[in-house]
Each structure stands twice: as C-alpha cells, then as structure tokens.
A and B are shown apart, each in its own frame.
Chain A
Amino acid sequence: MIELDRIIETVGIDTEVGFHINVTNRVIDKNIAKIYLEKYFLEGDEYFSQWKSIEDSIFQNKKEGLPKVIFKEDYRMIMARGGTLFEEKDFKVLQECCLKMGDRNLIVIQNDFGGEITEPIFRMKYPVDISWEEMMSGNFISTALFEMPYNEYFVFSESGMWGKYSANDYENPLDIIGFKPEVEFAFKKYKEMIGEDEDISDWIPDEYRTKYCKQ
C-alpha cells in the first residue's frame, strides 16, 4: 500500500498530466484514482513472485529498449505505429486475441530503462475482459497510462506466449507485438488491423528489419 500511495502522490502531482486533464475540461479526482489503483495496481510482492519471471522470459534488452530487439529469439513480431499505450481500437483487437488464447490477466509494466526512471513506475494487472470504459475510468491514472505519449510499457499475460512493447518514446514510436508460432492464429485480426495503417517500413529499426521482417 505504501507503493500505491507513492504512485498516487507522484502521478497526482505530475503537472504535465494535470495540465492535460484541466485543458480537456476534466477534473482531477484523487479518490477515483485511488480506487482505480486499489483495483488494478500490481503490488511489488505479487509482481516479483508471479510475473517478473514471465516478463523476463519474453523480453530482453529492457534497459536499452529500441532499436535493440526487445523480444527473445523464439518470438515472431508484427509492428504498428505507436505513440501511446493503447487506444480503444487496438485495445479491443488485442483483447480479442487474448480471449482466443484463453488469457485471464493483462499485465502492464512501465519500462524504467534499468532503473533510470527513479519515480515509481506503473505496474498494472487488469482482467482480460475489462471494458475500455473501465480501463479509462481511473482519472489521472488512466490519463497518464493511456493518453500521454512518452512512457514505454511491456504488456503480457500469464501464458508467456506473446507480449507487446509500446515504444512510445522511441524516435519513431512503435507498437511491437511478439508471439510464439503456436499462437499466431490468435493475431490474425491484429495483423489485419495493422494492414489498414499507412506504411511504417521506414520506421522499423534495422536490426528488426534484417532479422525479423523478411516476409
């Protein structure tokens, strides 16, 4: 709970987030934010005992981030234009993918780049069938998580079969989905959604291009 309180205090006094809320005619409400965090914040004990090992089995080069390859070798990758963690459309498509795979939880971990970010980082655990409206109901917490274009996040589930890296602060922001071949079927709709987007081939870091994007 101490960690949770620190998150509320830190994000609550993040003047950049606060400004965005005010300028978009909303009101900062610490109580709503606290209730949201009590429901969805992933405490350190649970994170380290249950989730960190899964995260580490999917992702590598976490300290450096892009342009280093962020997924381990046995993951295939698809990429889309990034900028923020989720918007409604891509969240709902990813949610469909998760439901097809039988996932129960959606874990969101902010990248602290090997401890470079010293303020408390976001660690969230959502039920996979959560509605978009509920995701966005956390007042300034949801604003910081889903609307601000600078934090970077790892997203995964208990299966360890897939992950998403949201490289929002990379020079050309990218969303990268990595998945094992066994669950490729679940990402068909996600691939179709990306196909509708304009070409981002110029944005793909060379190491990804040469190793993973030959098709």
Chain B
Amino acid sequence: MPVWRSLWGVQWVQFLLEHYQGGGIGAELTGGNFWQGVVIGGIVAGLNHVAHMENHVVNDQEDPRLSSKIQVKPINDGPVIMMGGSFDVFGVFEGAGMYMESWFTDKGLPNVGKLLSVVVSRKPNRAFGKNFSTENVINSAGKLTKLKNGVRQGFINQNGQELFNNMAKQYNAKIHFDSKKGHQYFSSGSLRVDFTSSSRNIPTLRINDGGKLYKIRTQ
C-alpha cells in the first residue's frame, strides 16, 4: 500500500486513480458542485521529463493564477512538486498511487514508478454552515497573510458574489452600488464590506471591521 496523505481520504484518491486510468479524470473532476474549484495541472509527464525542469512553472489552462505558484524543483536528483498559497498538489505515480507534495518534502522521493500526472486542487476552506458573520468568513479563509499597515489577506474557495450576498443577509444590510467605483457594498454598524473585482478581475471582499482591514480573495 503506498504511503500517501489526502485531504479527502481514501475514497477520493481511489476515485481519482480509477478514473485517471480510464482517461476520464478531467471530465469527472470538473463536473458537479462537489468538485467545484478543483483543477487539474496541465502536465502529464514522465519522471525523466520532469526531472529536467528546474524551477519550471506549470501552466494551468483553467486558472492562470496557478502559474506563479507551482514549481517543479529537482531535489535529491529527483523532482519534487512545490506549492505555495492556497493550493495542494498530488502526484499520481504509475502502479503506486497518489502522493501529496508534503510527503516528498518530508521524506524525499518515494521509490515508485513513472509520474503520470499532477493534480492541483484548492485547499478546502472550513465549512460555513449558515453562519456568514464576518468572524466566520475571516476564520474560514484559513491562515491570513500580513500585508503592510496591518491589512490581512486570505482566500475563500467560494463564489464571491454569493458570499457577499449571504454576508449582507446575515447582517440584514441593504446592498448599495458605488457608481463611482463600479462595485457593491454594504455596511452595518462598524462593519463595511465592499465586493470588487480588483484591477485584475479577482473577485475580492474588502472587509473593514471597525478599522481592521481584510482582503478576502474569492472565486
């Protein structure tokens, strides 16, 4: 039994492997709500091929933002898939199974067969349930990154517009349209939330919670 770790457990990994061998992995993964946000890395490469890619950046056709986050670095004469930010990477090896990138990082290369593919997925956020309070939304973004002037930034793997609407509903707040800036916002007491697309079309919630500023990137 191969050593692997998975965020979603055995069934998910087995599902992936079975369907990958059948050639249908892409279609299965991108269909249905359960798989929303899961993307497949754009490479299906042999081990030798990958080993020659120093600092190679994997481009993903479905989400160009991945391109700056995925690197394949040779370590100990072999490839290690390195990830940053809000993504997890799994390597699928011939006859062996799926390995999460942290396994390589901890233990070096596994003694397994050819690397068949790399699967990239968003790290899952904590579940919201029906609580769309600011505190719950911010907590769901996981570990926040510190920016200058105390601004905090995080990512939530959810539709930004729906999230914004649900937050407004949570606070019984009326949604306004800022015609100057072309985006929506609502406020409630010392809370204000602006929903923008950012200058690069990344849906973003700008939360001002009593003077504390948060940027939550969404889908």
Contact = CB atoms under 8 A, between A and B. Distances in A.
Q: State whether these chains interact.
A: yes
Interface of A: 10, 13-16, 19-20, 23-24, 65, 67, 81-84, 86-87, 90, 113, 116, 119, 146-150, 152, 169-173, 175, 202-206, 209-210
Interface string B47-62: 0000000010100000
A156 B118 CA distance: 43
Given A81-B147, A202-B85, A206-B57, 15 more contacts: A14-B180, A15-B185, A19-B187, A19-B208, A81-B146, A83-B153, A86-B148, A87-B148, A146-B149, A149-B148, A150-B198, A152-B199, A171-B202, A173-B153, A202-B69
Contact of A13 (B151, B180, B190): B180
A55 B79 CA distance: 43
Given A19-B208, A65-B200, A149 B151 contact: yes
Q: Which of B146, B151, B202 counts the most chain A CB atoms within 10 A?
A: B151
Contacts of A20: 208, 211, 213
Interface string B201-216: 0100010101101010
Interface of B: 55, 57, 65, 67-69, 84-85, 145-149, 151, 153, 178, 180-181, 185, 187, 190, 192, 194, 196, 198-200, 202, 206, 208, 210-211, 213, 215, 217
A83 B148 contact: yes
B211 A16 contact: no
Q: Which 8 A-B pairs have the closest CB atoms?
A: A83-B147, A202-B84, A83-B148, A24-B211, A84-B149, A169-B199, A149-B151, A83-B151
Contacts of B178: 15-16
Contacts of B57: 206
Given A149-B149, A209-B55, A23 B180 contact: no
Contacts of A16: 178, 181, 185, 192, 194, 206, 208
Contacts of B213: 20, 148-149
A82 B199 contact: no
Contact of A87 (B65, B149, B199): B149
A92 B145 CA distance: 24
Contacts of A150: 196, 198-199, 206
A153 B207 CA distance: 22
A116 B199 contact: yes
A177 to B, nearest CB: 14
